[in-house]
Structure 1
Amino acid sequence: MSINDRVIAIIAEQAVLDPSDVTPDSTLEDLGIDSLGLVESIFAIEEEFDISIPFNANEPSQSDFDISNVAAIVAGIEKLMSEKA
Protein backbone atom coordinates (compact mmCIF):
# COMPACT_ATOMS: atom_id res chain seq x y z
CA MET A 1 0.00 0.00 0.00
CA SER A 2 1.40 3.41 -0.95
CA ILE A 3 1.98 6.24 1.52
CA ASN A 4 -0.91 8.07 -0.15
CA ASP A 5 -3.30 5.12 0.30
CA ARG A 6 -2.26 4.59 3.92
CA VAL A 7 -2.75 8.28 4.78
CA ILE A 8 -6.15 8.34 3.07
CA ALA A 9 -7.17 5.21 5.01
CA ILE A 10 -6.21 6.85 8.32
CA ILE A 11 -7.96 10.13 7.50
CA ALA A 12 -11.06 8.31 6.21
CA GLU A 13 -11.21 6.31 9.44
CA GLN A 14 -11.06 9.53 11.50
CA ALA A 15 -13.76 11.13 9.37
CA VAL A 16 -15.89 7.94 9.42
CA LEU A 17 -15.94 7.98 5.63
CA ASP A 18 -15.11 5.53 2.90
CA PRO A 19 -11.53 6.04 1.61
CA SER A 20 -13.05 6.67 -1.85
CA ASP A 21 -14.68 9.82 -0.39
CA VAL A 22 -11.27 11.29 0.49
CA THR A 23 -9.51 13.06 -2.39
CA PRO A 24 -6.10 14.78 -2.54
CA ASP A 25 -7.94 18.12 -2.67
CA SER A 26 -10.07 17.38 0.41
CA THR A 27 -9.40 19.59 3.40
CA LEU A 28 -9.83 18.13 6.86
CA GLU A 29 -12.61 20.65 7.38
CA ASP A 30 -14.39 19.38 4.23
CA LEU A 31 -14.22 15.89 5.71
CA GLY A 32 -15.67 17.02 9.04
CA ILE A 33 -12.46 16.46 11.02
CA ASP A 34 -12.21 18.86 13.96
CA SER A 35 -9.10 19.82 15.93
CA LEU A 36 -9.34 16.71 18.13
CA GLY A 37 -9.74 14.50 15.05
CA LEU A 38 -6.74 16.23 13.52
CA VAL A 39 -4.59 15.45 16.55
CA GLU A 40 -5.78 11.83 16.53
CA SER A 41 -5.00 11.61 12.80
CA ILE A 42 -1.49 13.00 13.36
CA PHE A 43 -0.88 10.43 16.14
CA ALA A 44 -2.18 7.61 13.94
CA ILE A 45 0.02 8.71 11.04
CA GLU A 46 3.08 8.99 13.29
CA GLU A 47 2.43 5.48 14.58
CA GLU A 48 1.77 4.03 11.11
CA PHE A 49 4.97 5.43 9.60
CA ASP A 50 7.15 5.55 12.75
CA ILE A 51 7.88 9.25 12.23
CA SER A 52 7.51 12.41 14.27
CA ILE A 53 5.43 15.11 12.62
CA PRO A 54 6.48 18.69 13.47
CA PHE A 55 2.97 19.78 14.38
CA ASN A 56 1.93 21.91 17.34
CA ALA A 57 -1.73 21.28 18.11
CA ASN A 58 -1.88 24.45 20.20
CA GLU A 59 -0.61 26.59 17.33
CA PRO A 60 -1.34 24.79 14.06
CA SER A 61 -0.47 27.87 11.99
CA GLN A 62 3.01 27.93 13.56
CA SER A 63 3.77 24.35 12.55
CA ASP A 64 6.23 23.43 9.81
CA PHE A 65 3.79 20.80 8.62
CA ASP A 66 1.23 21.76 5.96
CA ILE A 67 -2.22 20.38 6.74
CA SER A 68 -4.11 22.50 4.19
CA ASN A 69 -5.36 19.42 2.33
CA VAL A 70 -4.80 15.68 1.97
CA ALA A 71 -2.22 16.09 -0.82
CA ALA A 72 -0.16 18.48 1.35
CA ILE A 73 -0.25 16.02 4.27
CA VAL A 74 0.89 13.16 2.01
CA ALA A 75 3.69 15.33 0.57
CA GLY A 76 4.81 16.26 4.08
CA ILE A 77 4.89 12.62 5.17
CA GLU A 78 6.81 11.61 2.04
CA LYS A 79 9.39 14.32 2.84
CA LEU A 80 9.71 13.13 6.45
CA MET A 81 10.07 9.53 5.28
CA SER A 82 12.83 10.44 2.82
CA GLU A 83 14.70 12.40 5.51
CA LYS A 84 14.44 9.42 7.83
CA ALA A 85 15.77 6.94 5.24
Structure 2
Amino acid sequence: MSIASQVIDIIAEQAMLDPAEITLESSLAELGVDSMGVVECIFAIEETFDISVPFNANEPSQSDFDISTVGSITKAIEKLVNEAA
Protein backbone atom coordinates (compact mmCIF):
# COMPACT_ATOMS: atom_id res chain seq x y z
CA MET A 1 0.00 0.00 0.00
CA SER A 2 1.42 3.41 -0.95
CA ILE A 3 2.04 6.18 1.54
CA ALA A 4 -0.59 8.32 -0.21
CA SER A 5 -3.28 5.66 0.09
CA GLN A 6 -2.43 5.08 3.76
CA VAL A 7 -2.65 8.83 4.45
CA ILE A 8 -6.00 9.00 2.64
CA ASP A 9 -7.28 6.06 4.72
CA ILE A 10 -6.19 7.76 7.97
CA ILE A 11 -7.84 11.05 7.02
CA ALA A 12 -10.97 9.30 5.74
CA GLU A 13 -11.35 7.51 9.06
CA GLN A 14 -10.93 10.76 10.99
CA ALA A 15 -13.30 12.72 8.73
CA MET A 16 -15.76 9.81 8.50
CA LEU A 17 -15.61 9.92 4.70
CA ASP A 18 -15.21 7.38 1.94
CA PRO A 19 -11.53 7.37 0.89
CA ALA A 20 -12.72 7.78 -2.72
CA GLU A 21 -13.94 11.28 -1.77
CA ILE A 22 -10.42 12.41 -0.85
CA THR A 23 -7.85 13.61 -3.40
CA LEU A 24 -4.26 14.76 -2.97
CA GLU A 25 -5.50 18.31 -3.62
CA SER A 26 -8.05 18.16 -0.77
CA SER A 27 -7.37 20.33 2.27
CA LEU A 28 -8.20 19.06 5.72
CA ALA A 29 -10.55 22.00 6.23
CA GLU A 30 -12.46 21.12 3.04
CA LEU A 31 -12.83 17.59 4.37
CA GLY A 32 -14.26 18.84 7.66
CA VAL A 33 -11.26 17.89 9.81
CA ASP A 34 -11.10 20.28 12.77
CA SER A 35 -8.02 21.08 14.85
CA MET A 36 -8.59 18.14 17.18
CA GLY A 37 -8.98 15.92 14.12
CA VAL A 38 -5.68 17.19 12.77
CA VAL A 39 -3.96 16.17 16.01
CA GLU A 40 -5.62 12.72 15.83
CA CYS A 41 -4.43 12.36 12.22
CA ILE A 42 -0.88 13.28 13.24
CA PHE A 43 -0.93 10.65 16.01
CA ALA A 44 -2.23 8.02 13.58
CA ILE A 45 0.39 8.98 10.99
CA GLU A 46 3.19 8.72 13.56
CA GLU A 47 1.97 5.29 14.66
CA THR A 48 1.39 3.98 11.13
CA PHE A 49 4.74 5.07 9.71
CA ASP A 50 6.79 4.83 12.94
CA ILE A 51 7.98 8.43 12.58
CA SER A 52 7.95 11.53 14.76
CA VAL A 53 6.14 14.42 13.11
CA PRO A 54 7.59 17.88 13.85
CA PHE A 55 4.18 19.47 14.28
CA ASN A 56 3.16 22.38 16.49
CA ALA A 57 -0.58 21.99 17.07
CA ASN A 58 -0.80 25.52 18.48
CA GLU A 59 0.96 27.08 15.49
CA PRO A 60 0.51 24.77 12.48
CA SER A 61 1.74 27.52 10.14
CA GLN A 62 5.05 27.58 12.06
CA SER A 63 5.65 23.86 11.55
CA ASP A 64 8.03 22.22 9.10
CA PHE A 65 5.28 19.67 8.51
CA ASP A 66 3.00 21.08 5.78
CA ILE A 67 -0.63 20.14 6.43
CA SER A 68 -2.17 22.40 3.75
CA THR A 69 -3.30 19.49 1.54
CA VAL A 70 -3.38 15.70 1.56
CA GLY A 71 -0.62 15.78 -1.07
CA SER A 72 1.63 18.01 1.04
CA ILE A 73 1.10 15.75 4.05
CA THR A 74 2.05 12.75 1.90
CA LYS A 75 5.25 14.47 0.68
CA ALA A 76 6.22 15.41 4.23
CA ILE A 77 5.70 11.82 5.41
CA GLU A 78 7.72 10.44 2.48
CA LYS A 79 10.58 12.78 3.45
CA LEU A 80 10.46 11.70 7.11
CA VAL A 81 10.25 8.00 6.20
CA ASN A 82 13.26 8.34 3.87
CA GLU A 83 15.24 10.20 6.54
CA ALA A 84 14.45 7.48 9.07
CA ALA A 85 15.54 4.68 6.71
The TM-score normalised by the length of structure 2 is: 0.98
What percent of counterpart residues are identical? Answer: 67
Q: Within 5 A, what are the aligned runs for 1:1-80?
A: 1-80=1-80
Tell me, in whole angstroms, the C-alpha distance in 1 between the residues paired with 2:41 and 2:17: 14
1:59 deviates by 1.0
Instruction: Flag structure 2 segments of 5+ consecutive residues without an equivalent.
Output: none
Report the TM-score when normalising by structure 1: 0.98
Q: Aligned partners of 1:64 and 1:79: how far apart in 2?
A: 11
CA drift of 1:45 comes to 0.4
Which runs of no fewer than 5 residues in structure 1 stay unpaired?
none
Q: What is the CA–CA distance in structure 1 between the aligned matches of 2:47 and 2:83, rounded to whole Å? A: 17
Aligned length: 85
